[in-house]
Structure 1
Amino acid sequence: MVPLPFLLGYFLRLLQLLSTCLAFSFVVSVGTWMGAVSNWSVFVWCFCFLVTLIILIIEFCGLQSRFPFSWYNFLITYACYAALLCISASIVYPITYIWFFPHGRSQDHAIAATAFSCIASVAYASEVAWARTWLWLGVITGYMVTVPGLLKGLETFVACVIFAFISSPHLYVHQPALLWCVAVYSVCFLLAAAALLLNWCDCDNRLPIAFPTFLLGLTLLSVLLYTSALVLWPLYQFDEQFGGQPERSSCNDGLIYSVCTWDQQLAVAILTGLPVPSSLQVMMSSSWILI
Structure 2
Amino acid sequence: MSTGRTSPEKCGLYIVFSCLRVPQLVCIISAFFLVLDMGIRWGDISSWIMFSWCFCIIGTLIIVILELYRFPTDFPFCWYNFSITYACYAALICLSASIFYPITYIKFLPYDATRNRAIAATVFSCIACVVYVMEVACVWECYKLKEIPCFVHTMPGLLKVLETFVACVIFAFLSNTSLYIDQPALEWCVAVYSICFILAAVAMLMDREEWENRLPISFPVFHLGLNLLSILLHFTALVLWLLYQFDEKYGGQPQQSSDVNCIDRTTHGMCAWEQRLAVAVLTAANLLTYMADLGYWAHQVSVGTGGQPTDS
TM-score of the aligned structures, taking structure 2 as reference length: 0.84
User: What's the CA shift for 1:24?
Assistant: 1.0
DSSP-derived class of the 1:70 partner: helix
Q: Give the RMSD, CA atoms, in angstroms.
A: 2.5
| Deviation, structure 1 residue 174 | 4.4
Match of 2:261 among 252, 256, 260: 252
Distance 1:169 1:36 in 2: 11
Return closer, same or farther for 1:282/1:133 CA change in 2, 3 Å cut-off: farther
Q: Which moved more, 1:133-142 or 1:55-64?
A: 133-142
Contact preservation (8 Å) 2:77, 2:148: no
1:158 corresponding residue in structure 2:
166
Report the CA distance between 1:125 and its aligned residue: 1.9
Q: In 1, Cα distance between the equivalents of 2:260 and 2:210?
A: 48
The 1:197/1:13 distance shift into structure 2, 3 A limit, reads: same
- In the other structure, the counterpart of 1:37 is 45
- Residue correspondences, number: 291
CA distance in 1, matches of 2:17, 2:168: 27
The equivalent residue for 2:141 is 133
* CA 1:182–1:91: 2 relative to 1, 3 Å: same
Q: Distance in 2 between matches of 1:115 and 1:42?
A: 15
Cα shift readout 1:35-78 (whole Å, capped 9, x = no counterpart): 33333222211220111011012112211366697221111211
Report percent identity of matched pairs: 51
Residue type at the aligned position of 2:294: M
Aligned mates of 1:109, 1:74 — CA distance in 2: 33
Range that drifts further, 119-128 or 197-206: 197-206
One-letter identity of the residue aligned with 1:87: L
Deviation at 1:268, TM superposition (A): 0.9
Q: 1:173 aligns with which of 165, 181, 203?
A: 181
CA contact (8 A) 1:135 1:141 kept: no
Structure 1 range deviating more: 88-97 or 3-12? 3-12
Indicate how the Cα distance of structure 1 residues 38 and 169 shifts in structure 2: closer, same or farther if over 3 A, else same. Answer: closer
Partner of 1:95: 103
Structure 2 residue aligned with 1:228, among 222, 233, 236? Answer: 236
Tell me the CA shift for residue 204 of structure 1: 4.0
TM score, norm. by length of structure 1: 0.89
* Amino acid in the other structure paired with 1:268: V
Q: Which residue is equivalent to 2:126?
A: 118
User: How far apart are the structure 2 equivalents of 1:126 and 1:132?
Assistant: 10
Q: Secondary structure at the match of 2:256?
A: coil
Q: Is the 8 A contact 1:27 1:110 kept in 2?
A: yes
Query: Partner of 2:194 in structure 1?
Result: 186
- Which residue number in structure 2 is paired with residue 146 of structure 1? 154
One-letter code of the match for 2:173? F
Q: Unaligned stretches of 5+ in structure 1?
A: none
Match of 1:74 in 2: 82
